[in-house]
Amino acid sequence: MDQAHPDRSGPGDGRFFARTGPYPLARLAQEAGADARGAADRMFSGVAPLQAAGPDQVSFLDNRRYLPQLADTRAGAVIVSPAFADKVPSACAALITPQPYLAWARVAALFHPREAATPGIHPSAVVENGAAIDPAAEIGPFVHVGAGAQVGAGTRVGAGAAIGPGVVVGPDCRIGSHVSLSHAVLGARVTLFPGARVGQEGFGFAVGPAGFVSVPQLGRVLIEDDVEVGANATIDRGSAQDTVIGAGSRLDNLVQIGHNVRLGRCCIVVAQAGISGSTELEDFVTVAAQAGLIGHIRVGAKARIGAQCGVMSDVDAGADVIGSPAMPFREFFRNVAALRRLARRPEPARGGRGGGAVAVDPEPG
């Protein structure tokens, strides 16, 4: 094969993604937590979507609308729910589980594990006195590590990242290129994608007779274990208390988290959403794209905030809200339906004496 153009068939281009395997069906079933139907020793070399997979690849089906692709697939094995197990072609092995997408994630990660750190400090990196970098960490080119900062074992810090004085980065973290970190403490297995900004001053000022007076922002950012923060997202440090991102939470690209915000466990905040200062999200809250939450409110556990929603007051646990101002889904769509009915009504006839049209001078007087 031409080395300039390596094989790109299916996902996992070898120029960008590590690959392991092959693995037998029995190992895949174990990893996926699925029941296997097929020869336990049949070998597989990778994963691919239904329409592109070959006989040595694994695919999945988690949506009824793709059943026609299942019927035509050449995949060697397919991960499916019990409801679709009888639809798997006879030539395919089946991995049967109530959660096909979760099983797919586990199998894909088996073939394409996260790249391990290459221990060492690049010669162009600057490490200030008093910084503690674990020997098993990787510090990339042009990284700056401030005095007193700590970087844990197995952590990778990408090119051009800046880790401020006193910052703590736990073990097995991934700090993307050009990330800036200050006034922050990170737990284990935290991922910050390129360009994320964590720990900068929050948006706080008082109004004086001569103009605005900035309020010192004296808190920190605490990011708990297994959090992911998307590219170019921003998390302000607290003003007098800490900004907290709860364990397992996921922040998409271009998310803004204001000072003193507290996210519970496993919250989801989708792209271009913004959460104003001192707002609290309890566990398992979802905030959809471009939603905006004002400050000093509380969103109850497992609530869901719809896309482009404007949230101006507390939201009850388990509630689904949408619109601006935010309201329950059913109320919102009743309002939409009422407006549509009004729009369809014919306008009443307007006329002067004898039913004729009334002439109006556009510039009276």
| DSSP letter (8 states) at residue 83 | G
Amino acid identity, residue 285? V
Other CB atoms within a 10 A radius of the CB of residue 94 amount to: 23
Catalytic choice (112, 144, 183, 259): 259
Amino acid identity, residue 331? E
Strand order through the sheet with 320-322:
120-121, 138-139, 156-157, 174-175, 191-192, 228-229, 250-251, 268-269, 286-287, 304-305, 320-322, 327-328
E strand or H helix that includes residue 266: none
8 Å CB contact between 321 and 309: yes
Contacts of 241-246 spanning 24+ positions with Cβ under 8 A: 243/202, 243/219, 245/221, 246/283
CA distance 119 to 122: 10
Q: Which of 194, 169, 196, 204 is nearest to 184 (CA)?
A: 169
CA distance 281 to 153: 31
Q: Which of 269, 232, 231 is nearest to 249 (CA)?
A: 269
Q: Is the dihedral of CA 206, 212, 215, 217 positive or negative?
A: positive
CA distance 286 to 273: 11
Q: How far is CA 88 from CA 25, 177, 221, in A?
A: 16, 43, 49
Active site annotation includes 183: no
8 Å CB contact between 282 and 262: no
Active site residues: 259
